[in-house]
Structure 1
Amino acid sequence: MRSGLPSIRARLDRAGILLSGLCALHCIASIVVVSAIGIGGEWLLAPEIHRYGLVVALLIAAVAIGLGALRHRRMAPFVVAMMGLSFMGGALAVPHGAQEAILTIIGVSLVTLGHILNLRHTHGSLSGRA
């Protein structure tokens, strides 16, 4: 069973990277579509999307990066990802628009970096490198 954990954790890290990219794309596309065309604001900018996205990001990061930190004993991926999640949470406190998009994009970038660092550190610990 222990050999299956790195695989599951790595898949969650990759899912976290994908989710972060989709979130950034959503932020940029929402602003462009709503500003340029004026349609879709009621569902593209719905606060629920951001709340649910943050919950999913929190769960994936907690499991993937938490398990990785236990395995490779490095805190950098955890700290970077938690800073990113803090920015994402802060984005929920500001009105929709450029400020929210900037905070969210900074947040998802840091969460992505946390997942990448986690993959690199875990890969190094599995191959005997520290």
Structure 2
Amino acid sequence: MHDEGDRKMEAVLARAQAAVADLAKHYGANTLGDLDQCAALLKTAREAPDRRAAAIKDLYGIAHNIKGQGGSFGYPLVTRIGHSLCTLVRQEREFSDADLGVVQAHLDALRLILTKDIKGEGGEVGARLAARLENMVKAPG
């Protein structure tokens, strides 16, 4: 027999599960919006060298959220590529135009994964794509 405390806990858990399910349903669209913000920041970094460092710092904040949420919503490949992107943009240094090209490659890959709704690890193609991006981060420029 359930007491009132158990019923309240079950209700709280049910609401939490419904909220997570709603977040998962909208994850792709919301993250595409985040990628649009990243693209705008990248454009600023390219066009306004005096604002490049600030734009990259802001881009890192968004990329960090993308990385953190991907696996939670069934997109571990997004998390892996997001981690690679974060590794690149969290570095405190001068970013060359070539570095910005590597950022663009990451954003393009993330957009492709989300628009094609590629959940999971992405198979062999996903592994090769992520490894290539990770190698670009190891030797930027």
Bin the TM-score by the shorter chain.
Answer: 0.5 to 0.7
CA RMSD of aligned residues (A): 3.0
Q: Which runs of 5+ in 2 are unaligned?
A: 1-14, 121-141
Q: Which runs of 5+ in 1 are unaligned?
A: 35-40, 70-76, 123-130
TM-score, length of structure 1 as denominator length: 0.57
Deviations 1:19-75 (A, max 9, x none): 2122223323442x33xxxxxx33x212x4323422332224422x22222xxxxxx
| Letter of the structure 1 residue corresponding to residue 84 of structure 2 | S
- Equivalent pair of 1:54/1:89 in contact (CA under 8 Å): no
**Distance in 2, Cα, partners of 1:23 & 1:59:** 12
**Which of the numbers 87, 90, 95 marks the counterpart of 2:88?**
90
| Letter of the structure 1 residue corresponding to residue 65 of structure 2 | L
Match of 2:20 in 1: 5
Which runs of structure 2 are paired with 1:56-95 in the superposition (5 Å)?
56-63=62-69, 65-69=70-74, 77-93=75-91, 95=94
Match of 2:29 in 1: 14
**C-alpha displacement of 1:92:** 4.8
TM-score, length of structure 2 as denominator length: 0.54
**C-alpha displacement of 1:104:** 0.8
**C-alpha displacement of 1:110:** 2.2
| Structure 1 runs, 4 residues or longer, greater than 4 Å off | 91-94, 119-122
Q: Using a 3 Å threshold, how does the CA distance of structure 1 residues 55 and 83 change in structure 2: closer, same or farther?
A: same
Aligned residues: 104
Question: Which one has more relative contact order, counting CA pairs under 8 Å at least 6 apart?
Answer: 1
Which structure's CA Rg is the greater one?
2
